[in-house]
Amino acid sequence: KISGHIVNVGAGDGCIEAYNRECDEANEFLELADPMVPMSDVRSRTRAIDTKFKGHLYEPNEKNVAILSATYKNISIGGGVDASNFARILQSDGVPHNIDFLKYDTDAQDCDSVLAVIDAGFQPLLVLAEFNLLFPPPIGFNLPYTKGLYTWAKRTPYAVQLGNECSLSFLSKQMGVRGYVLLQVDWWDALFVTSQVYQTAFSLFPIYDDLTWWLY
């Protein structure tokens, strides 16, 4: 059953400030009232099918919270989200447990936060989460509740990425235990759907292993 709710964590990706346009597709698929910035053609297609979703946008970065608040007047926007409080914030904001689409992209606690909110009783139909591309399958890498960079990571050629998020194998295994199927990988973004959604809408899509997706 469609609830009409989209949750986007990491919704302010800098495009509005840098380019004066929206490039976060999760935002573009919302029916936003009187936007102050131009959308891509995804927005036009969404309007054409008269999509009616309620958006909940969150940003750990307070600067981006201010930008989103100034841009989207009629959308629920919040800050200070992390793995320890994500489920509590969603409950406080009245977000239903059967979220249609959850996107989490903060370059830090993505994996922990997604798993924590599912364990708290929320069951998004679709989940888009970022993983750490530097750890190939079958490595199960995760630094629990990382806030981002670690001191030792700054000494590597990949200081921005090394300590963030989790590996694809870790995320895929943990989501599988919770009843999700890995449907697609696009660069470092993994798209999961519930087993029921897969059987209903995507059963003709082949299921590939983690290594195949990582190499793809």
18-60: pLDDT as tens digits: 666 666 767 666 544 334 444 554 444 444 334 567 788 888 7
Is pLDDT larger for residue 40 or for residue 193?
193
| Residue 113: band (very low, low, confident or very high) from pLDDT cuts 50, 70, 90 | very high
* E strand map for the chain: 5-9, 54-59, 76-79, 101-104, 126-130, 180-186, 189-194
**Which range (9-23, 59-73, 108-122, 202-216) has the least confidence?**
9-23
Cα–Cα distance between 81 and 83 in angstroms, integer? 7
pLDDT at 20: 66
pLDDT at 80: 83
pLDDT at 22: 65
Check pLDDT > 90 for residue 182: yes
Q: Where in the chain are the domains?
A: 5-215
pLDDT at 47: 43
pLDDT at 161: 62
Check pLDDT > 70 for residue 139: yes
Q: Which value, to the nearest 10 degrees, does the dihedral of the CA atoms of residues 20, 63, 26, 88 take?
A: -160
Cα–Cα distance between 216 and 185 in angstroms, integer? 8
Determine the number of helices (DSSP H) and then strands (DSSP E) in the chain: 9, 7
Region 63-75: what's the mean pLDDT? 77
State the chain's mean pLDDT as an integer: 79
| Residue 133: band (very low, low, confident or very high) from pLDDT cuts 50, 70, 90 | confident
Amino acid residing at 26 = A
**Which range (60-64, 100-104, 137-141, 212-216) has the least confidence?**
60-64
**Which range (50-64, 87-101, 116-130, 184-198) has the least confidence?**
50-64
pLDDT at 150: 43
**Which range (33-37, 95-99, 209-213) has the least confidence?**
33-37
5-215 classified as CATH 3.40.50: yes
